Structure formats: structure tokens, C-alpha cells
């Protein structure tokens, strides 16, 4: 998979918008594509292009690796001078013309376009049936993932399921109810489950798999509070026998262990000056800390751990010093106290060009989701949910939690206490991996938790619709409640 992502430069040539202003649904230029999609290789390039949309700045290269985290109590910007757009997101003063949010919307629909192009054109190419179905499964998984992110961030969104060939055609699409979007997500993931293989070999490692489709569908059901269906899908992932926890939490962040047995789906990046490297090694260390934290390029001070995040770790939790640092030593040998994320460090080829993949779903996430589902279906003292929770804790060097533990800090005596134990464990296990914001929203605790830091209101669970999209199509695109121009 590291090899196939070199097609991005080619893909960009035919992903042109017909209008500089109207780019949210990214209609194709027919001039660029009229002679394409004739061979199996063409379809493979197009599928790879759908994957490459996950590497865009509005997706996992930047925004989806930072914005949900800084919107939670996990992280913030250690240096906000000159970065008002990020500061407004952190402080819940976000404006409808925020370019970061606009980029998240636009790049999501670029990815959806690429998926739709494959689905609309694959039948015109002669392909072996298993390969054709696999390609369909891959892009349906990617489309489902993208819509899942969109619907959680923005609520009702346009549901575009075919290739758009003109600006005029784009105007037909307005916001669809959340329920309709989730229905389509499940349809896509159901097909992906059917068509995708359990695993890949060699250069195809890193593509979407059957387990990834099942895990994502379980997460979607959990988000919808459909616990019975979530239980089924998450248990299916466990029963596949494909995944396991790595014995050592630190090894998760060793670049040699990318796409490991614990990885269910991660966004692939590759350094080397080709524009497909990740940016985290430069974006996450404190401002002005290079070369003391990263040897190549400057540093931005983004996604820096909060004091509240540091305090969340229990004494003896091995994950803390693996996940974050509390400062660095400068060139004068002085200790500079400034927290920063350690999980995604590498020596870049050039600035913002590193090898670190982004973990979208890993097995520990599945185990914790399954424990949460079991508890929601009925608290059982020291039952299976406890076993799953403690499997994660044991790897971190922590003691097991039980229903009658004499240590009050290790005691879980009710369903509500187990909910809070899961919330804590997900926070420290998955810290800085883009889960905390969505977890708080899913459990209905977002406003209560974040109100300790900022005057948060219910409407701020969703982001504003980019004002440019409303201005272009005001009859069918409207603003989320609470946001004004």
C-alpha cells in the first residue's frame, strides 16, 4: 500500500472542479476523463486515488488528526499567535467562514467524488469478478468512512451517490437527514463486508479489509446507540481471529510495526519528497522546539496535551510516557516545560514529510467498544466486559478492576461506574488518535465535560456548515442552529 499511493500526482490531474467557487461536490472535467477507465490498470489507479483523498489536508493529513482532539479536553495549541482559526475552534468561538472547517467539508466531498467515479465507471471495464468486487468493496468502505466523519461533524449533509459532471447538477443536492446518511453508510459497509478479503499480501497490505468494514459498522451502530447490532458486528471482528493486541504498547508507534496485527485500518503515508508523507512529526511538537524535538523542519505546537489530559493517567500507566512528553531539552541544556505528543514521531525526509500512518481503527478500540456495548446491554459484575477492559489495562501495566475490589480506585460496582471506567480507558488508550471528541458526543457528556473549560452549548456539538456552500446554494443548504453569519 505504501507503493500504490504514489499515484496521487496523477490522480490530481483529473480531479478538477468546473468552478473555483463551487468545489464542495467537486464535479469532474470531462476533458480529463473521457479517455480514461478503459483498462484494469485505470480502475486500480482510480481506486488508489480514492484512498489518496484520505491524505488531503482537510482529511487525515491535518484536520482529522487535530480538529476533533483540540475540540475536546485532550489537546490544544501551545502557540496560538497568528492561528486565529484554530484558536476559535478550541475556544468554541468558531465562525461560519472558518477555512479549516471549509477544508474538511471540501476534501471529504473530493474523496466521495473519487469513490463515485469508480462505482459509476467500473462496469464499462472488463475485470475478473473477484477483483471487480474487491474494488467496489474498497471504495464503498472509503465512502462510508467519509460520510461517517461528515455526519458526525456536520449533521445533515448532501448525500451524493453518483459522479457529478457539471456545476448545474451539483445544485440539485441539498442536505439529507442524518438518518438517511446512516442508512447509506450501512448499505455501503454491508457490501464492503461481502466483497472485501480478510487480509492482503505484499504491496496491497493497508487496503480496506472485511474486518475493517465490520469494525467500522460496529462503531457506527454504537454511535447510533443500536447496541444489539453493535454487539454482533464487534463480536464478528473478534471472532475473525485476524487481530490481536501487540504485547508492548510502545511497539504500536514503531514505524516497523505499521499495519500490524493490531491495526484494522490506517491511512497510509510515505515520506520521500513525493507529497505523500504525513505532517505530524512537525505539527505536534512545541513551537520553536526544532531541532530539539524533530531533526528536520520547523515545529507548529499543534495538538499539544492539556494538563487535564496529563492528569488523566493513573500512576504507573506505561502509556503516558509513550504517548506524550512534558517538555524537551533545548540547545543550552535547559529543560523547557511544554507538553507534546510522542506517538507520531519520525525523522522527516523534508519538513512535513514523514512515514507515520494514521490509525483510524485498531483492535484495542474494538475491544473497548465491545466492552461498552456489553455494559449497555446489561451490567454483569466481573463479567466479560470486565475481562476486555482489564486486557487493555494489563498491557498498560495497571491492576485489574473488579466489582468488589478493596481498592476504591479499582472498584466498578455499577453500570454507571463501568461507563465512566470505559470513558477513562478509551481516553488514555486512544489518546491523540481522534476519538475523544466523538466519544463524548456519543455518550452525551460533551457539554458537561467541556463546560469545565469553556461556555459550551448544545448546538456546538456540530460544526457550522461552511458559509460558502450556503451562499452558493441557499435553497438547499442551510446553516446549523446557533451559528450566524
444-480, pLDDT tens digit by residue? 999 999 999 999 999 999 999 999 999 999 999 999 9
pLDDT at 170: 85
pLDDT at 35: 65
**Which residue range forms the structural domain that includes residue 378?**
360-453
Greatest CA separation for the chain = 72
Which of 178, 198, 229 finishes a domain?
229
- Give the angle subtended at the CA of 368 by the CAs of 367 and 370, to the nearest 5°: 65
The answer, yes or no, to whether residue 22 has pLDDT greater than 70, is no
The answer, yes or no, to whether residue 53 has pLDDT greater than 80, is yes
The answer, yes or no, to whether residue 269 has pLDDT greater than 90, is yes
Asked if residues 205 and 1 have their Cβ atoms less than 8 Å apart, the reply is yes
The Cα 118–Cα 104 span in angstroms is 22
Residue 434 DSSP SS3:
coil
The Cα 400–Cα 387 span in angstroms is 9
The answer to the question of residue 283 being in a domain is no
The answer to the question of residue 174 being in a domain is yes
The answer, yes or no, to whether residue 202 has pLDDT greater than 50, is yes
Q: Please count the helices (runs of H) and the strands (runs of E) in the chain.
A: 20, 8
Which of 201, 229, 257 finishes a domain?
229
Which residues, including other chains, have CB under 8 Å from residue 415's CB and lie 6 or more apart?
Answer: 375, 376, 378, 379
The answer to the question of residue 461 being in a domain is no
pLDDT at 174: 95
The answer to the question of residue 375 being in a domain is yes
Q: What is the CATH number of the domain that holds 167?
A: 1.25.40.390
Residue 473 per-residue DSSP state? -
Percent share of the chain, pLDDT over 70: 92
DSSP lists the bridge partners of residue 338 as: none
Higher pLDDT, 459 or 168: 459
pLDDT at 6: 36
Which of 229, 251, 273 finishes a domain?
229
27 dihedral zone (left: phi>0; alpha: psi -120 to 50; beta)? beta
How many independent structural domains does the chain possess? 2
Q: What mean pLDDT comes out for the span 206-227? A: 98
The answer to the question of residue 422 being in a domain is yes
Q: What mean pLDDT comes out for the span 33-44? A: 82
Between the alpha carbon of residue 470 and those of residues 20, 100, 463, the distances in Å are: 15, 16, 14
pLDDT at 36: 75
232-244, pLDDT tens digit by residue? 999 999 999 999 9
Residue 96 per-residue DSSP state? T
Quick one: 225 and 367 in the same domain? no
Quick one: 13 and 157 in the same domain? yes
The answer, yes or no, to whether residue 180 has pLDDT greater than 50, is yes
Write the secondary structure of 259-281 as one string of H (helix), E (strand) and C (coil). CCCCEEEEECCCCCCCCCCECHH
pLDDT at 7: 35
The answer, yes or no, to whether residue 310 has pLDDT greater than 80, is yes
The Cα 37–Cα 314 span in angstroms is 55
The answer to the question of residue 285 being in a domain is no
The Cα 211–Cα 199 span in angstroms is 8
372-392, pLDDT tens digit by residue? 999 999 999 999 999 999 999
The answer to the question of residue 428 being in a domain is yes
The answer to the question of residue 176 being in a domain is yes
Q: What mean pLDDT comes out for the span 423-451? A: 98
114-126, pLDDT tens digit by residue? 999 999 999 999 9
The answer, yes or no, to whether residue 179 has pLDDT greater than 60, is yes
Which cell numbers hold the place of 65? 488528526
Quick one: 54 and 202 in the same domain? yes
DSSP lists the bridge partners of residue 291 as: none
DSSP lists the bridge partners of residue 175 as: 158
Which cell numbers hold the place of 306? 492539556
**Nearest residue to 245 (alpha-carbon basis) of 439, 394, 420, 438:** 394
Q: What is the CATH number of the domain that holds 404?
A: 1.25.40.900
pLDDT at 282: 97
Q: How many residues does the chain have?
A: 485
Amino acid at each position: 500500500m505504501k507503493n500504490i499511493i504514489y499515484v496521487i500526482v496523477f490522480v490530481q490531474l483529473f480531479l478538477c472542479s468546473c468552478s473555483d467557487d463551487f468545489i464542495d461536490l467537486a464535479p469532474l472535467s470531462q476533458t480529463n476523463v473521457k479517455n480514461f477507465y478503459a483498462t484494469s490498470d485505470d480502475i486500480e489507479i482510480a481506486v488508489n486515488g480514492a484512498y489518496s483523498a484520505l491524505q488531503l489536508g482537510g482529511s487525515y493529513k491535518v484536520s482529522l488528526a487535530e480538529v476533533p482532539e483540540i475540540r475536546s479536553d485532550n489537546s490544544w495549541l501551545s502557540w496560538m499567535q497568528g492561528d486565529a482559526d484554530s484558536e476559535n475552534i478550541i475556544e468554541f468561538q468558531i465562525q461560519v467562514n472558518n477555512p479549516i472547517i471549509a477544508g474538511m467539508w471540501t476534501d471529504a466531498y473530493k474523496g466521495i467524488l473519487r469513490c463515485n467515479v469508480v462505482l459509476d465507471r467500473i462496469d464499462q471495464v472488463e475485470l475478473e469478478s473477484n477483483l471487480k468486487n474487491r474494488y467496489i468493496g474498497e471504495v464503498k468502505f472509503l465512502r462510508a468512512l467519509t460520510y461517517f466523519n461528515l455526519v458526525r461533524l456536520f449533521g445533515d449533509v448532501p448525500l451524493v451517490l453518483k459522479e457529478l459532471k457539471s456545476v448545474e447538477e451539483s445544485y440539485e443536492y441539498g442536505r439529507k437527514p442524518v438518518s438517511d446518511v446512516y442508512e447509506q453508510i450501512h448499505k455501503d459497509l454491508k457490501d464492503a463486508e461481502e466483497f472485501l478479503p480478510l487480509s492482503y499480501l505484499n504491496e496491497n497490505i493497508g487496503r480496506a479489509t472485511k474486518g475493517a468494514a465490520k469494525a467500522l459498522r460496529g462503531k457506527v451502530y454504537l454511535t447510533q446507540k443500536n447496541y444489539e447490532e453493535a454487539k454482533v458486528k464487534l463480536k464478528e471482528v473478534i471472532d475473525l481471529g485476524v487481530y490481536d493486541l501487540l504485547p508492548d504498547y510502545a511497539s504500536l508507534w514503531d514505524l516497523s510495526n505499521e499495519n500490524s496485527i493490531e491495526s484494522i485500518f490506517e491511512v497510509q503515508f510515505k515520506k520521500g519528497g513525493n507529497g505523500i508523507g504525513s505532517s505530524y512529526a512537525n505539527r505536534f511538537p512545541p513551537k520553536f522546539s526544532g531541532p530539539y524535538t524533530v531533526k528536520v523542519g520547523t515545529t507548529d505546537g499543534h495538538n499539544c496535551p492539556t494538563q487535564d489530559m496529563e492528569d488523566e493517567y493513573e500512576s504507573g500507566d506505561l502509556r503516558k510516557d509513550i504517548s506524550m512528553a512534558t517538555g524537551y531539552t533545548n540547545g543550552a541544556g535547559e529543560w523547557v516545560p511544554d507538553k507534546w505528543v510522542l506517538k507520531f514521531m519520525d525523522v522527516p525526509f523534508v519538513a512535513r514529510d514523514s512515514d507515520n500512518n494514521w490509525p483510524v481503527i485498531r483492535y484495542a478500540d474494538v475491544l473497548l467498544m465491545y466492552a461498552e456495548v456489553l455494559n449497555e446491554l446489561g451490567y454483569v459484575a466481573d463479567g466479560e466486559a470486565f475481562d476486555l477492559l482489564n486486557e487493555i489495562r494489563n498491557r498498560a501495566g495497571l491492576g485489574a478492576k473488579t466489582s468488589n475490589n478493596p481498592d476504591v480506585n479499582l472498584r466498578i460496582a455499577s453500570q454507571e461506574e463501568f461507563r465512566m471506567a470505559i470513558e477513562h480507558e478509551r481516553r488514555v488508550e486512544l489518546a491523540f488518535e481522534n476519538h475523544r471528541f466523538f466519544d463524548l458526543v456519543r455518550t452525551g457528556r460533551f457539554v458537561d465535560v467541556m463546560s469545565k473549560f469553556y461556555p459550551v452549548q448544545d448546538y456546538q456539538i456540530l460544526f457550522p456548515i461552511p458559509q460558502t456552500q450556503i451562499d452558493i446554494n441557499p435553497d438547499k443548504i442551510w446553516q446549523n442552529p446557533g451559528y450566524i453569519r
